Amino acid sequence: MSELFDYYRPSLKVRGIERRFPARRIFCVGWNYADHIKEMNRPDVPQPPVFMKPADALLPDGGEIPFPPRTKDLQHEVELVVALQGGGLNIAADEALGHVYGYGVGVDLTRRDLQSKARKAGDPWEISKSFDYSAPVSTLRRASSIRHPAKGRIWLAVNGVIRQEADLSDMIRKPMELIAQISAYFELKPGDLVFTGTPAGVGQLKPGDHVTAGIDRVGDVHIRMGRLRT
Ligand code: MN
């Protein structure tokens, strides 16, 4: 019973302070970089898809991830993560950044084979997107110290070889627009996180791979893909 009542509360480290950022929900958007839309042969869409991962899919500050079962095509997607200190319903884009606490670097791990299957069947995305350890995120940096990064290199390397490399300024919809869009459907709250989409170069991961991802001024995160759990 003690385990039930003292369950794990997901949180993220914050650079420069002792207290951790209490994670509430994780919202993710798709199709936010033109080169990625092109590599996936997807048309540009007026409203990018929004999906969620459970907060306990976070792997705070990286570390080792047991390799997810039931996929032959686990893929990496490096993304800028926005952490909210405020919220509301129908937030105006020009007021959205006032609700931002800080930023981190996240990897939206994806069972691409199961996502393709779900897309064809019209099934939900949970087993392709919202599985255990599917959301490693770096230590956060506060907007009060780095402000709101609108440009800067975003990259991901596997075993030291660069796979994804782009600039935050390539984002089709800026964080302020994404916050406004999501808040039209959900009342955003302090602790909510937003994954803002990935640039081109998404690719496959294998057990044993070392993944490093970073964003200028925001930070970096290191992940090692462990063995398949049985
Ligand atoms: Mn993604």
Question: Residue 149's domain is classified under what CATH number?
Answer: 3.90.850.10
3 domain residue, yes or no: no
Q: Give the distance (Å) from ligand 1 centre to CA of residue 6.
A: 31
By percentage, how much of the chain surpasses pLDDT 90? 87
Q: Is residue 29 part of a domain?
A: yes
Is the residue at 7 inside a domain? no
Q: Evaluate whether 12 touches 60 at the Cβ level (below 8 Å).
A: yes
- Arithmetic mean of pLDDT, 173-199: 98
Residue 93, classed as helix, strand or coil, is helix
Q: How confident is the model at residue 45 (pLDDT cuts 50, 70, 90)?
A: confident
| Per-residue pLDDT at 209 exceeds 80 | yes
Residue 4 maps to a domain: no
Q: How large is the average pLDDT for residues 50-74? A: 95
CA of 80 to the centre of ligand 1 (A): 10
- The whole domain housing 111 covers 21-228
Whether 164 is in a domain gets the answer: yes
Question: Ligand 1 centroid vs 134 CA: distance in angstroms?
Answer: 11
In the chain, how many domains are there?
1
The Cα-based distances of 189 to 68, 106, 151, 180 in angstroms read 30, 20, 26, 13
Q: Residues of the chain with pLDDT > 70: what percent?
A: 99
Q: From the CA of 43, how far away is ligand 1's center (Å)?
A: 16
Domain-embedded: residue 127: yes
Report CA(4)–ligand 1 centroid distance (Å): 32
**What DSSP state is assigned to residue 168?**
G
Is residue 61 in a domain? yes
Global pTM value: 0.96
- Mean pLDDT within 152-180: 97
Q: Is the pLDDT of residue 2 over 80?
A: no
68 lies in a domain?
yes
* pLDDT recorded at residue 99: 98
Q: How far is the CA of 204 from the centre of ligand 1 (A)?
A: 14
